[in-house]
Amino acid sequence: MEISKTGNEPIYIRVVNNFKKQILSGILKADDKMPSVRELALNLTVNPNTIQKAYQELERDGYIYVVPGKGNFVSGKITKVKNQAIKDEIITLRNITEKLYELGVSEKEIIDEIKKIGGKLK
Amino acid sequence: MEISKTGNEPIYIRVVNNFKKQILSGILKADDKMPSVRELALNLTVNPNTIQKAYQELERDGYIYVVPGKGNFVSGKITKVKNQAIKDEIITLRNITEKLYELGVSEKEIIDEIKKIGGKLK
Amino acid sequence: MEISKTGNEPIYIRVVNNFKKQILSGILKADDKMPSVRELALNLTVNPNTIQKAYQELERDGYIYVVPGKGNFVSGKITKVKNQAIKDEIITLRNITEKLYELGVSEKEIIDEIKKIGGKLK
Amino acid sequence: MEISKTGNEPIYIRVVNNFKKQILSGILKADDKMPSVRELALNLTVNPNTIQKAYQELERDGYIYVVPGKGNFVSGKITKVKNQAIKDEIITLRNITEKLYELGVSEKEIIDEIKKIGGKLK
DNA sequence: GTGGTCTAGACCACT
DNA sequence: GTGGTCTAGACCACT
């Protein structure tokens, strides 16, 4: 994993988002072992506290679980977490769509914008 | 103007959004005088500081301008502000669409979601 | 005089700036009669109060003087007013130049910028 | 940090400018922790609200970012902020130069003024 | 009368 | 412990 040291967000947030992406996309699978806090801290040359914070947040959000004395592991309930993440994003999507309608943007223009992104990602 | 006292958002944000809607929709027009800080604070039975905060946010966002000793007035450059607001929302729309793609949601599902909202508003 | 009705600033401020330009540039000369408040209000289709405010500000700033029952006239002390205006602008120029130096912009770059504007105006 | 209590500018503006200078000059670096709102308020013997206002302005201008419950930190995008600050100052420089031309000040006089400041700072 | 700043201090959510 | 919001109210400059 590479984490650029500069950016708008604190390092631990970027570590969190990085792992979330890997877990949601299936690169990291259920019960896979996460790198140990110390190991990852050395790799990224950051303070172990930073990694500790990141892992705590991942656990709170249901992405990983801790086995004391063993390490951190990817949760088996990723489908549930994923569905929640999708629901959250859909709510935001609705809010933005409503605002765009209020600002006079047409349904067609919004859909065109979404198709553009789909095209890019393929 | 009515501002419900309950809800998740802070009062000053609700005041801001309320005025933004009225200005963008044309209910409030260029150079219209805004209610004075004290007057509105009394009407809504909130602290003048809360209204002050709301008005300063509206000014920073280009919706109103201040004439010292005279009051706050609706900006004449609302078209410009509106275009900027649309640009900002489109950027967020793109970010969310990307995340939804990453979460495995298809283009069709996203577009269906948008059409649903269009249907409701009509 | 033409005053566009839309813009960032209130109308009376634009009336003020318009007259200041005309007086400083010599289009309006010492002891020239200003249009009457009512006449100008009709021409610009604004409230007479707006023009009254503008004239009061021009008087405070030393650009015009009032002869009760006769009207408003361009001041004979424009040189003095002009010198003060130049002094004020020079102070701001100094502050900005200092900030630009602090931001790492070189003397040459600043001077080039000024020459560019000189070129445009010619 | 020392903030003189006397002067024309409001306290919160002086706090803002002080930090901007330190961040732009590199004394404060990306991801450095800012003093907490309460801590700094105690140090400068001002009200926490005043520091809060200063920090919110710094955040809006892109100089710092907030991690809820953790504190304020110096942004990693200072280069971008710096370039924006330069652009803003150049625009003001142009406006003032135009006004000075209108007031009859020659290009040479303006450039001499700028060279004077360059001389002082060396 | 108008907005702008500031104090003193409370309560909240989140870590 | 941290920032965010809000009340209650004072004082200021400017119109």
What one-character-per-residue DSSP string does C58-112 give?
HHHTTSEEEETTTEEEE-S-HHHHHHHHHHHHHHHHHHHHHHHHHTT--HHHHHH
DSSP annotation of B108: H
pLDDT digits (tens, 9 = 90+) for A13-36: 788 888 988 888 888 989 999 999
Touching A: which chains, 3+ CB pairs < 8 A? B, D
* pLDDT tens, position by position, C47-105: 777 788 888 888 888 889 888 888 899 988 888 888 888 888 888 899 899 989 989 99
Of the partner residues A21, A82, A107, the one whose CB lies closest to the CB of residue B114: A107
Q: Check residue B63 and give its pLDDT.
A: 95
B14 nearest nucleotide via C1' and CA: F5
The band of A120, judged by pLDDT with boundaries at 50, 70 and 90, is low
| Statement: residue A76 has pLDDT above 60 | yes
- Alpha-carbon torsion, ordered D42, D43, D48, D50, to 10 deg: 150
Residues of B in contact with C6 (CB under 8 A): 30, 76-77
B115–A105: do the CB atoms touch at under 8 Å?
no
Does an H or E element contain A72, and which?
A: strand A71-74
> What's the one-letter identity of residue A41?
A
Question: What confidence tier does A121 reach under pLDDT thresholds 50, 70, 90?
Answer: low
Rounded-to-integer distance, Cα D37 and Cα C6, Å: 41
Task: Give the pLDDT of residue C105.
Answer: 93
**B100 contacts chain A (CB < 8 A):** yes
- Mention every residue, 6+ apart, whose C-beta is less than 8 A from residue A7: A14, D76, D77
| Residue D49 scores a pLDDT above 80 | yes
Token pair of D61 as six digits: 């201008």
Angle at B86 between CA B20 and CA B52, to 5 degrees: 25
Pairing of strands B71-74, C64-67: unpaired
Amino acid at C36: S
Chain B residues with beta carbon closer than 8 angstroms to that of A114? 93, 97, 107, 110-111, 114
**Among residues of chain B, what percentage have pLDDT more than 70?**
90
pLDDT of residue C56: 84
Q: What is the pTM of this model?
A: 0.80
D85 touches strand F (CB under 7 A): no
Determine, for residues A8 and D76 on separate chains, whether the beta-carbon distance falls below 8 Å. yes
Q: Residue A57: which nucleotide is closest by CA–C1'? A: E15
Separation in Å, CA of C56 to nearest CA in chain B: 14
What is the distance in angstroms measured between the alpha-carbon CA of C8 and the sugar C1' of E3? 18
Which residues are within 8 A (CB) of C15 and not within 5 positions of it... i.e. 6 or more apart? Answer: C1, C3, C40, C44, C50, C51, C54
Residue D18, burial from CB neighbour count under 10 angstroms (0-12, 13-18, 19+): middle
Q: pLDDT > 90: what percent of chain C? A: 17
Task: Answer whether residue D121 shows pLDDT above 80.
Answer: no
Chain F positions with an atom below 7 A of a protein C-beta are 1-10, 13-15
D29 CA to E2 C1' in angstroms comes to 41
A30-66 burial, b at 16+ Cβ within 10 Å, e below that, comes to eeeebbebeebbeebebeeebbebbbebbeeeebbee
Which partners does chain D have (≥3 C-beta pairs < 8 Å)? A, C
D48 touches strand F (CB under 7 A): yes
- Quote the tokens at residue C84: 């003060």
Cβ of B49 < 7 Å from strand E? yes
User: Of C112 and A60, which is predicted with more confidence?
Assistant: C112
Q: How far apart are CA C112 and CA C106, in angstroms?
A: 10
Report the mean per-residue pLDDT for chain A: 84
Binned at pLDDT 50, 70 and 90, residue D30 comes out as confident
Q: Cα(A48)–Cα(A55) distance, rounded to whole angstroms?
A: 11
pLDDT at res. D37: 97
Nearest-neighbour CA in chain C from B106: distance (Å): 44
Kindly state whether C70 is in contact with chain B, defined as any CB-CB distance less than 8 angstroms: no
pLDDT computed for residue C120 by the predictor = 67
DSSP H/E element including B71:
strand B71-74
CB contact under 8 A, C10 and B75: no
